[in-house]
Structure 1
Amino acid sequence: MVARIGEKAPNLKVSKWVQGLPTNIDRERDHVVLVEVFQVNCPGCFLYGLPTAIEIYRKYSKDGVRVLGLATAFEDFDKNTLENLELLVSTGRVIGETYRVLMQHGMLNPDGTLPYKIPFPIAMDMLVKNNGHVTDEMVIKYIEERIPDFHMYGDARRLLLIKRVREYLESKEYTPLTFEEYALQGTPSSIVIDRDGILRYVSFGYDEGLDNVIESLL
């Protein structure tokens, strides 16, 4: 089942906590929880998502806000790995497109490392190896969970979407369980859960309103 706004937030599916003490949604009752979902090979995550999450951590951690980082992989499976996440956490070193873009923007130290440390707990999403077999039912289920009004689309648009989703599913080496359960569209993504463990907000990309969402739940 896919997580829904206004319903109980499912626990994160985690393969390993690489920084901080292990925790999860059900252990964080009485806290507002921000889960910042990123990929290590994702420049936008380091330009927008993670800096915003760090700022929220600094502003609101004393007020009962818990920030958790979750690295995932829905593409570039050779780069978005547990090993590269551990490298990031232990040394501050970034890789791939993240390295290229941040270096281009002058946002790295001369040795190619981040000039800051991510201050909150970080985990790796649970990745399950796919067998490559994609059925029509899998394609339609994937679409309907993310686009409830899919059947209102015109025939041409519906067929094009089915084709693209099938190609995407067939290309996936792994299924990232938390990413899929929260029906995320990409990275960076932000998940906000209230003090009662209810999912209140999910966003994708640069989000100017995240600060206001957090304040409204405190």
Structure 2
Amino acid sequence: MNALAPELSVSRWLNLAGAPPPSLSGLRGKVVVLHAFQMLCPGCVSHGIPQAQKLHRLLAGRGDVVVIGLHTVFEHHAAMTEVALEAFIHEYRLTMPIGIDRPAARGPIPETMGRYDMRGTPTTIVIDRDGVIREHAFGQADDLSLGVMVGALAATPPRAFATEPAVSEDCAGGACAAPASPPG
């Protein structure tokens, strides 16, 4: 997958500790791991959320990787209120920033879940420094594979965020000349 990641549509942020709400455009230059979950999803509770929290805890001080939780509710709406989510975050001692996916105007699929064409929860999405989706995994993501991918992306410098392509000195009039061959 090599599509530019759409912006998150969040109705409320939790666990920001005084920091401004994150945006994907504001996080360009960093690797972003977006973990979509529901608090009543067994796979989320047993594997996905602990994995995301551990990744957040291990990499929080580096500054080049950001882990974001996204509570995206597409079922059991009456049970998964913001008050219940706040209690869940407290009980599970989650410290990563967590956005609450904005409900869709029509239908059960929240806005960000729809923008990313998620199949359900847990879903792990890895976005590189340039804002490109590099992984979109539904279900249980393997710890080692995820760690290797995030580490490799963090070790790769971002491309320049210029809107214009770089022009070589050897390019003029819409054509680029190959360097001259050395005499020999």
Return the TM-score normalized by structure 2.
0.75
Query: Can you list the C-alpha shifts for 1:2-26, whole angstroms capped at 9, x where unaligned?
Result: xxx2121111110111221311111
What is the distance in 1 between the residues matched to 2:101 and 2:82?
9
Q: Does 1:72 find its partner at 2:72?
A: yes
What is the distance in 2 between the residues matched to 1:129 and 1:78?
17
* Residue in structure 2 matching 1:16, options 12, 16, 32: 12
Question: Secondary structure of the equivalent of 1:202?
Answer: strand
Alpha carbons 1:73, 1:81 under 8 Å: kept: no
What is the distance in 2 between the residues matched to 1:86 and 1:60?
23
Return the TM-score normalized by structure 1.
0.64
Q: Does 1:32 find its partner at 2:31?
A: yes
What is the distance in 1 between the residues matched to 2:102 and 2:139?
22
Query: Can you list the C-alpha shifts for 1:14-39, whole angstroms capped at 9, x where unaligned?
Result: 01112213111111111100011000
AA aligned to 2:43 is G
**Aligned residues with identical type, % of pairs:** 34
What is the distance in 2 between the residues matched to 1:24 and 1:127?
18
* Residue in structure 2 matching 1:202, options 89, 114, 136: 136
Task: State how 1:12-161 maps to structure 2 within 5 Å.
Answer: 12-20=8-16, 21=19, 22-63=21-62, 64-89=64-89, 91-92=90-91, 114=92, 117-130=93-106
Alpha carbons 1:40, 1:79 under 8 Å: kept: no
Deviation for aligned residue 1:129: 4.2
AA aligned to 2:10 is V
Deviation for aligned residue 1:197: 1.0
CA RMSD of aligned residues (A): 1.5
Alpha carbons 1:13, 1:125 under 8 Å: kept: yes
Deviation for aligned residue 1:61: 2.8
Question: Secondary structure of the equivalent of 1:216?
Answer: helix
More contact order relative to length (CA 8 Å, sep ≥ 6): 1
Return the structure number with greater helix share: 1
| Unaligned residue ranges in structure 2 (runs of 5+) | 155-184
Match of 2:163 in 1: none
Match of 1:156 in 2: none
Query: Can you list the C-alpha shifts for 1:93-145, whole angstroms capped at 9, x where unaligned?
Result: xxxxxxxxxxxxxxxxxxxxx3xx11211110000243xxxxxxxxxxxxxxx
Bigger Cα Rg: 2
